[in-house]
Structure 1
Amino acid sequence: MRNTAEGKTGSTLPPLLEARDVSFSYPGTRKDALRGLTLSIPAGQKTAICGHNGSGKSTFFLHAIGIHRPAAGALLWKGQPVSYQAGALRRWRQQAGLVFQDPEHQLILNTPYEDITYGLRNAGVSEEEIRLRTRSILASMGLTELADTPIHHLSLGQKKRTALAGVLALEPELLLLDEPTAYLDPASERRLIEELDRIHGSGVTVVMATHDTNLAYAWADRVLVMDGGRCLLEGPAPEVFSRKEELHPLGITPPLLLELWEALPASVRGSAPPPRSTEAFKQLLGTV
């Protein structure tokens, strides 16, 4: 079920990021956080990684930006083994950016403006370019009016957008988000998803780890399911979530919209593909 990207000339391109038989355990523990993990992240797609706490999602993300190194196996970037030398690692962290679940773990300075400029300055960007990029990303994320507001005065949604802005200012090719909608109210969640769609539309490959199968089904082109430090299922979202016999032992509930669709008589569903949004569901029902 693994996907590859097709180049304009028809040649097959390697995945943007790939884990090959990666194993890793945290110091002082005997249990592997990753256990022979093999998965790929194709360029240009929206990918959701599902799995419960302890499945290895966050640990994989920390490997994906070089904070952890595999005890066995390898990570590949565009088909080439990742280098952990200081200069190469710094360049890699500009190409692959991670937004943590809790923005408090990521925001370290007093205001959104200061926090974004700090990350750019650490990356060696010139002061003139820092000013241009910071103003641009604040505007695109709807944060201009909050640029000089103390971080502790921001709402959770505003803090998450600020953390996201700090990563996007580095202009990464790959954006990783760990439970990006956790604890957000519905309005803030909708705004964040709209931002992610806009970012993806600009050419950035976006990957999110989430417990929310409804979100993963509606948003992702592709879904990976992790459990026990391994990737057990991988493929298009409707295909993966239709495999209930394999999801049930993992404690993963299929998306409600898909269950409602499959509960309809076959004569009603016809040959239409499963709808991915409530709007599409209503439209399909209106045509039968």
Structure 2
Amino acid sequence: MTRKPIMAGNWKMNLNHVEATGMVQKLAWTLADKEYDGSKSECVVVPPFTDLRTVQTLIDGERMPFILGAQNVSEHDSGAHTGEISADMLAKLQVTYVVVGHSERRQFHGETDELINTKAKKVIAAGMTPIICVGEGLDIRKEGTHVEYTLNQVRGTLAGLTAEQVAGLVIAYEPVWAIGTGEVATPADAQEVCGAIRAEVAALYDQPTADAVRIQYGGSVKSGNVAQIMAQPDVDGALVGGASLQPEEFAAIVRFYDLPA
């Protein structure tokens, strides 16, 4: 089965809505100049909540070749939850992808597999696609238990989802020790865990579901290493952090298929 690569740029807590305008315009110009082929990869931009309306309007009005994503979602549908954003609110803004369980949410906000599972179900129920993040810290990596640790997260975050739902979502493997540190998992490291995740999905569901689900790698992805990472058979995209704030660099990552492996 051919899985379309998904290259998602997570802006994290950067760029106000004015700065976001310049960012997406520069990215659109750069991709157009480089003759970006949208049939070879999906380009997803994931701005902060306050930028979503601005970016969505630009994407629609200027026919930019991007898909809109959000960085988080509430587990609640509505009500007295000050500061929370519901899945329905995001869907009304034409958000397509929602990142759930990012390592920073797990580490700094105490998000559990159970909570992430609930959020993923809310995203799916609202007609959007979750990007479910899993991955290990440096201590787990040093212990050599990183594969089983990550697979436990996979089991917890996919609990109760149907095969059809799992086939349509995205799983992002984030080796936490390689995020924002300059350290990068080797292509072989990425393939080891992404391959294990796909095998686990096959065990939990079936092989067609495992063949359909897209698995991203996220952790200090740059134009200099993305082609080698994307050459791995079970890596179907990248969840990009800091590099996604540089239009030319992110454009090169999105166009990984033109880079030497």
Bucket of the pairwise TM-score, normalised by the shorter protein: 0.3 to 0.5
Report the TM-score, using the length of structure 1 for normalisation.
0.38
Quick check: which one's helix share is greater?
2
Quick check: which one's strand share is greater?
1
